[in-house]
Structure 1
Amino acid sequence: MRGLRPPADRGMERILGIDPGSRITGYGVIVSDRGRIGFVACGTIKPLPGLPFAHRLNQIFDGINEVIQLQGVTVAAIEDVFLASNPRSALKLGQARGAAVVAAMQNGLAVYDYSPKAIKQGVAGYGQAGKAQVQHMVRVLLGLPAAPSTDAADALAVAICHANQLHL
């Protein structure tokens, strides 16, 4: 079992935000330095749909692991599972989330959980904000030339939410 990395200087963090999903997992990496944030990378991990579910979970694990190692991430933040109307979907989402959490933990990262409402509140100022509003605010806050995909924007929003928590 690997231990957690010692706490870094709280001034600078390279934060990985994760928006888990069994079909598409969004990721976003930002740098937070004494209250200022900057964009590093974002994208999606799309497991092959024809594969058995266990193999798709492994692709999520491998994808998050690769992002962590390529981007020099120091901490991870992930969206909590929300209550879905379909129990089967909620279970699959929970398993995808678990694959992402284990990838972060295997790399020695501390992992922080945030509710969808807290993430929207932290980025858009309103806990019931829609996807388009979150996407727009992520673009504005990070000074991006174009809006990222909704899954990548949601992941960047998770990272921004964590950055905001560092400086309360």
Structure 2
Amino acid sequence: MKILGIDPGSHRLGYSVLQKDKSVIRVLTYGTIEVPSGTKSPVNLIAIRRQLDAILDEYHPDLASVEELFFAKNRTTAARVYEARGVVLLTLGEHNIPLVEPTASQIKKGVTGSGTADKKDIKAALKLLLGMENLTGHDDSWDAIASAYVGFAMSSSFRNK
């Protein structure tokens, strides 16, 4: 079974695809979908959609785990990220991919054991859990790996496959 992890962003969106065979989870791919800073909507949203479509067409995940958003301060940033998240949800729906939506604290706790873990803790835990010696790239992609990892636990249909 394959799961797509997404860490939403308006100009940089983390993604990962993990595969689970019995009790072994391995990372098939991870990275970021990047749109040049300053690219206005809807151009940035179209770019995100096209790149996400390509990932879905290549990997055919069975489930997606898309981080639920929480913003306390900047409304403008929040609105842009929600737009991008909406494009992600629409694209997943068009591909008939079911989803789970863990919160940031659920992801942190599911990977590190602490709901208040920082980026460094998440990276270290992922290296241990997935046996990854060299975890490179942006922290958005690590967050997407963590989201996918927790997504397996959130979906009872994956427990028996």
Cα-Cα RMSD? 1.5
Stretches of structure 1 that go unaligned for 5 or more consecutive residues are 1-12
* Amino acid in structure 2 at the alignment position of 1:134: I
3-state SS of paired residue (1:105)? helix
Alpha-carbon offset, residue 60 of structure 1: 1.0
Q: Are 1:159 and 2:148 an aligned pair?
A: yes
SS of alignment partner, residue 127 of structure 1: coil
Q: Which residue of 2 aligns with 1:4?
A: none
Alpha-carbon distance in structure 2 between the residues aligned to 1:33 and 1:98: 30
2:134 aligns with 146
1:27 to 7, 11, 15: 15
1:64 aligns with 2:52: yes
CA offsets 1:1-54 (integer angstroms, 9 cap, x no match) = xxxxxxxxxxxx200000000121000110123332111100100112243221
C-alpha contact (below 8 Å) 1:80/1:114 kept by paired residues:
yes
Q: 2:113 aligns with which of 119, 125, 129?
A: 125
Counterpart code for 1:142: L
Shift of 1:94: 0.7
**Matches of 2:54 and 2:133, distance apart in 1:** 25
- 8 A Cα contact 1:35 1:163, kept in partner: no
- Correspondences of 1:4-153 after superposition (within 5 Å): 13-148=1-136, 149-153=138-142
The Cα of 1:125 is off from its aligned counterpart by 0.6
Identical residues among aligned pairs (%): 28
Partners of 1:136 and 1:40 in 2: how far apart? 19
Moved more, 135-144 or 85-94: 135-144
Superposed CA deviations along residues 96-127 of structure 1, whole A, max 9, x for unmatched, are 11111111111110021110000001001100
Q: Which amino acid is 2:16 matched to? A: G
Q: Distance in 2 between matches of 1:62 and 1:136?
A: 32
Question: How far apart are the structure 2 equivalents of 1:51 and 1:114?
Answer: 28
Residues matched between the structures, number = 156
Q: If the length of structure 2 is used for normalisation, what is the TM-score? A: 0.91
3-state DSSP of counterpart to 1:85: coil
- Matched residue SS, 1:84: coil
Q: Which runs of 5+ in 2 are unaligned?
A: none
Aligned mates of 2:9, 2:133 — CA distance in 1: 26
- The normalised TM-score by structure 1 is 0.87
